[in-house]
Amino acid sequence: MLIPSGQMVFFIWALINVSLVIFVVVVTPAKIFQFLYDKSTQLSHTRFGFFALGGLIFLVSFPPLIGHTTIVTVCGFAYGWKIGFLIAAVASIVGSASSFSVLRLLFSSRLRQWSRKNDKFMALESVVKGLPLIILIRISPLPPWVYSNSLFASIESVALWQFVVATTFVFPKLLLHAFIGSRMAALSDGNQREEMDTSTKILNGCLVGGGIIIAVLASWLVYNLVQTHIRKLEGVSPAVDELAAEAIEDFDEEAPLLGGTPEP
């Protein structure tokens, strides 16, 4: 049975979701998506509109902000998949590299104090060696984008150049989400929908749905691959492997660079 605070959280969560459903039913999905399409079109026709989206991606690369995938999808929604992907890729590289550098610069002493007292993180540091494993962890959906930036900034053996190279392997995911956004835009505009025949509408709907399914399946497969790989590393004891795998799963909750100041 939920404690009073848990009941309150659940009540608020349920109230928000019911309110959203009522809002969508009353306003209608067509009007909502048309509104989003009109605003994104205005943004794309603004002289430096791409700086706004790029700036948002830059900002959400710093913990504890979230929303990276959503903004990447909006890039495709507003600018199409080609330009949208370019905006997302450049901003993601710059934002993540800046986050990595700033967190490591500001919290290096805190990290050393924290890691000496955390068995899981010590195990993770001992196994994360070499670019292939860094790339594999980077493209995993867990920890999420912003906490992944913090994770690698926390591991002193990971160099900035390795982190940047590993981040480029996230580009296929960015391209997929920008593409999904571009197809959603085509279905959101009433004028474009009227010009489409039924088969084209179905095709665009399938592309959006298929893209989402591919993204989810790929994320699940990569995450399981990371966990399996870490748990079966050669020359490392099973206990250390298990602690390292758990450190990746729990990192967004523990976040050593963002938690309270450790005791000396």
Local confidence pLDDT in tens for the 264 residues of the chain: 444 545 565 566 567 767 766 765 666 666 766 777 788 888 888 888 899 999 999 999 998 788 898 899 889 989 999 999 999 999 999 999 999 999 888 876 676 666 566 666 666 676 777 788 889 888 888 778 888 888 888 888 889 999 999 999 999 999 999 998 888 888 777 676 667 767 776 777 787 777 778 777 876 777 676 667 666 665 566 665 566 666 566 555 555 555 544 443
Please tell me whether residue 144 adopts helix, strand or coil conformation. coil
What is the pLDDT at residue 140?
A: 83
How many CB atoms within 10 Å of residue 254? 15
Q: Is residue 7 part of a domain?
A: no
Q: Is residue 16 part of a domain?
A: no
In angstroms, the CA 263 to CA 114 distance is 8
Q: What spatial distance separates the first Cα and last Cα of the chain, rounded to whole Å?
A: 39
Q: Alpha helices, DSSP H only, in the chain? A: 4-27, 29-45, 49-59, 68-115, 119-127, 131-138, 145-154, 160-168, 171-188, 190-195, 198-231, 238-254
Give the angle 40-45-49 at the CA atoms, nearest 5°. 75
Q: Is residue 82 part of a domain?
A: yes
Q: Is residue 175 part of a domain?
A: yes
pTM over 0.85: no
Largest CA distance in the chain: 68
* Phi and psi, residue 239, nearest 5°: -65, -45
In angstroms, the CA 55 to CA 166 distance is 22
Closest CA to 111 of 257, 264, 11, 219: 257
Q: Is residue 127 part of a domain?
A: yes
- The domain tally of the chain equals 1
Q: Is residue 198 part of a domain?
A: yes
In angstroms, the CA 4 to CA 220 distance is 34
Q: Is residue 24 part of a domain?
A: no
What is the pLDDT at residue 249?
A: 60
Please tell me whether residue 205 adopts helix, strand or coil conformation. helix
Contact 180, 208 (CB under 8 A): yes
Q: Is residue 231 part of a domain?
A: yes
Full domain range(s) for residue 149: 30-254
